[in-house]
Amino acid sequence: MLLTGQIPWTGLITVFLIIVIIIIFARGVVIVQPYEQGLQIRLGQYIGRMNPGFRWVVPLITVVKKLDLRTEVMDVPRQEVITKDNSPTNVDAIVYVRVIDPEKAYFEVMNYRSATVALAQTSLRGIIGDMELDEVLYNRDVINARLRDILDRETDAWGVKVERVEIKEVDPVGAVKQAMTEQTAAERERRAAILRADGEKRAAILRAEGSRQSIILEAEGERQSKILRAEGERLSRILQAQGEAQGLRILSVGARPLDRRAITVLSLDALKQMAEGQATKIIFPFELSSVVKQAAEYLGATAEAPDVPEGTELPSEDILGEIPGRDVVRTAEEAVKSIETDINVEMQKKSRDLIGKGEEEGL
């Protein structure tokens, strides 16, 4: 009876031991992800790295530390920094880091994340403290490059690679921001005043240039017009004188074969026409007694007109030139009017173009 009562206890102990062995064995199982690297430490001694995959270590006496090898984003907290020109400014940043040496990242520094962020804060404060506010606002790339170089150099001993640093925001305090706003407004007003003055100057220059060109064109047109008028008057006087000369020539040629009787008749007819006028005074351009004598001789037929000697040569009728016809005179007048019209139209067009260009530049 004693032996049969001891069998159940032995089975329970066996089952318990098997379960304990399974649990201990299970605690030795380690799964390392593809983006991780494991560090195996046994009884306080570093054994080596563990590559990704399914691994088993001696349980209870072995500790495995896993480190993520992917790029991590660390936010540098916002802090107030005094620039070189004593302008308080709030600055924050972002740091991108990656573990490249798991042994150093775990054994050389207690927490590489907090250490990197603290180093970024102090380095950023020193960099901005050596720069003026305008340089901080306009040279963010320079700040990023300098901060990245400092962090990369210092974190190399921790097995951490700083890949990139970006300044998120540079925000001056209220009083500084207000002063910057006023300065910007004043600068823009100054530029606007300069642009307005320059525009007015250019508009005035263009208007003056347009006026000068207009005066020059008007003077040129007036000169051409005077030249054409003088040419027309000269041609008119020449034609008038030529016509008068030809008329006298015709009278001379026609009167040469007349005798004194015919001349007397013409003289008396002229006296008759003068007497029929309304004038109270009549001036005779010749001696009246000779006319009366000639009339008496004509009536008494006591004198005869001398004949023209034979062989006397009459003047040539070609000495005064060819008489111009109406078509020639009309063509000359139309050419003069056309030239004057073209000159006036061209002057008005150029004047309008110059004035319009000056007004556009002024606007």
pLDDT at residue 147 in the model:
92
pLDDT value for 13: 86
Distance from C-alpha of 54 to C-alpha of 33, rounded to nearest angstrom: 9
Looking at residue 326, its pLDDT comes to: 62
Q: What is the mean pLDDT of residues 239-268?
A: 65
pLDDT tier at 301 (50, 70, 90 boundaries)?
A: very low
% pLDDT > 90, the chain: 23
- pLDDT score at 1: 40
The pLDDT of 356-362, averaged and rounded, is: 58
User: What pLDDT, on a 0 to 100 scale, did the predictor assign at position 148?
Assistant: 93
What is the pLDDT, as a whole number, of residue 186? 83
pLDDT tens digits along 58-84 = 888 889 999 999 999 999 999 998 888
- Cβ neighbours of residue 98 closer than 8 Å, sequence gap 6 or more: 69, 70, 71, 72, 160, 161, 163
- Count of CB atoms situated within 10 Å of the CB of 73: 9
**Of 4-13, 63-72, 278-287, the least confident:** 278-287
Say whether pLDDT at 202 is over 80: yes
pLDDT above 70: residue 328: no
Nearest-CA neighbor of 153 among 181, 127, 192, 123? Answer: 123
Q: What is the mean pLDDT of the chain?
A: 78
Quick one: pLDDT at residue 214? 83
Q: What is the pLDDT of residues 96-111, one digit of tens each?
A: 999 999 999 999 999 9
Output the pTM of the full model: 0.50
CA distances to 98, 246, 304 from 152, rounded to whole Å, are 11, 116, 146
